A and B are shown apart, each in its own frame.
Chain A
Amino acid sequence: MKLSKDIYVFIEQRDGIIQNVSYELLGEANSLAEDIGQKVVGIILGSEIEVMAKNLIMYGADEVIVVDHPILKEYMTESYTKAMTELIKSNEPEIVLFGATSIGRDLGPRISARIRTGLTADCTSLCIDPKNKGLHMTRPAFGGNLMAVIKCENHRPQMATIRPGVMQAMEKDENRKGIVRNVAIDFSNIGNEVEILEIIKKNKKVTDIAKSKYIVGGGRGVGNTKNFEMLNKLASTLGGEVAGSRAAVEAGWIDADRQVGQTGKNVKPDLYIACGISGAIQHVAGMENSGMIIAINKNETAPIFDVADLGVVGDITTIIPPLIEAIKKAKAEGMDYIAPSSLKYMGMENILFNKKDGIAYLTINRPRFLNALNRKTLLEIGAVVDLLENDESTLVVIVRGAGGRAFVAGADISKMQDMNVEEGEEISTLAQTVFSKLKKLPQVVIGAINGYALGGGNELAMACDIRIASSRAKFGQPEVKLGLIPGFGGTQRLQRIVGQGYSKELIFTGEMISAEEAYRIGLVNRVVPPEALNRVVNDLALKIISNGSKAVKLAKKSINEGGNVDLESGLAIENRDWTNCFTNEESKEGMKAFVEKRKANFKDFK
């Protein structure tokens, strides 16, 4: 048997633009590659597309195979099938991934029938079965009500189309290395049974709101026709349709055929933005099955918030105009996984660091090694922590791991096996110092734990103030299995978080626990679905930022210091910091606003 176990990713390009889903697949392929120990190969077909290969490497491809031929300029089933089939037959990859787009879903089945292997459509999650290294593919069925796990045991390659938007792309790393290989394919025997006569770029206008993918709905709270015009603009910017509640129809702001609810239409768009809609049961009945519901309403007790994925308490007339601008801008800029205003610190190999609007993101970026901590990574974290210590403009730090599999899977054991006593002591001292500094940062540190948090990873997580875990995350202190004990703070911090009983059980057995179990014993604050992790953490950061920054920092200080002393001394610390609050203008504004029944404006004091 051939030992090649490469993961092929079909890179979808249209007019020379790589589609987002391809970056996502490269990210996912990277985490899978770790488990089966082989490389990620991006396959790009097209005409004059070689320049794009470099980009693919920066996003996670180890190798890029380029088939450059005029016949491949526009997608056509036969030429693409031929190219892919020949590459697959000659290289025998283990896995082939496609985006579940109108191209991937046309190409995949044709290839699978030609080489007679299985194809699983529209997957939302992939993982490697630890027993036989086979691919387990999870996909929704039955209208999304049922999830099925599919395997393809006896045929190779294992192929899947992956739904766009569910996998995590890696952050762009300009220093990433990889090779580019040009392959020539002979297309001379392709006949003229099928030919493209014309390419029409257009979006057919949908007028039946029930068929629209995005709906902006307005209710009584919209107030007048002029404001409804604004909703219209938001809808057209998104490429969707505007709709209304019964109240809006009766007020004459919108036509009756755009009414959503019991007496109107039942809609199920991918996105429903409810503006100024209170959410009476009659309206909710018509839209609650929407893919994502965002509600904006002045009244925070409005029932619409019960069904909303995101509720924003606020005034639509101030929020929507800048939202329209932001959407336009995002659409114009296209794909960009790094916030445009972020500051990237160069010269770091193993971590990525950027900041935006008061939030700093510290990403451990060694997905191929499940983000394992080595000496260099620890030093780089330390350097960033030093920078943050005096950073007045940042209030929240989010710590996360790159790729979809691991937060940090532990210390880099391969580098440790040859260490002598002195070196062993040094690495522990280094890690303890860095983690303690992180814990003591004036800012709030949130750990976004997306996957394995083992050994040094769990210890890093415990050095964060708040831990939010994806349901895929796993926790543990497995050191005893290697004849070691936790050395980056594990024997001390774990007992302070979950108590000695659980702490001892975890450390003595070295076993991993699930995110749910970690939640049960109090190791993490919350468990959320994997795709929601970033958002939940961001929302949490936003909530914290909206408060007085001086108060938040003083509160952290008070809690931190009090944790190490007896209650009497702790209360004295609190008394000191409470008093301290009165020395700044922030508290004056906060209390004044409370008395005046308005929202405090803390911005000027940051």
Chain B
Amino acid sequence: MKISEVARILNANVMTGEDKLDMEIHSACGSDMMSDVLAYVKDQGVLLTGLMNVQVIRTLLMMDMNCVVFIRGKVPPQGIVEFAEENGVVVLQTALPMFESCGRLYAAGLGKAEEGAEGINGEYGADDE
């Protein structure tokens, strides 16, 4: 699924990264706990989160993730958007809550290609190594 498709499904605003909307992503993760995200190392592309601080972007960078969706209508402060922009991370922002955001993307097929261990909703692959 292209990031542009994620944005469309979630009625999301693109805060930065318009030039990367054609990038393909194959799975997603929804969590407010960054340590849980860090425990879930797969070839994920998108993080959905209600957490809003600069560590969200650093977590994405550590994990080679390309896109963050800030949920529940929270608008990220300019500093976070700029830090994301400097590091090539796409920032989306949606009014939808976590459950519905994840549900819509899953129903649209995101993450289903990799049936099996990893889910979409903040699960982490405990036996990944």
A and B from one complex? no
Taking beta carbons and an 8 Å cutoff, which residues of B are in contact with A? none
Q: Residues of A at under 8 Å CB distance from B?
A: none
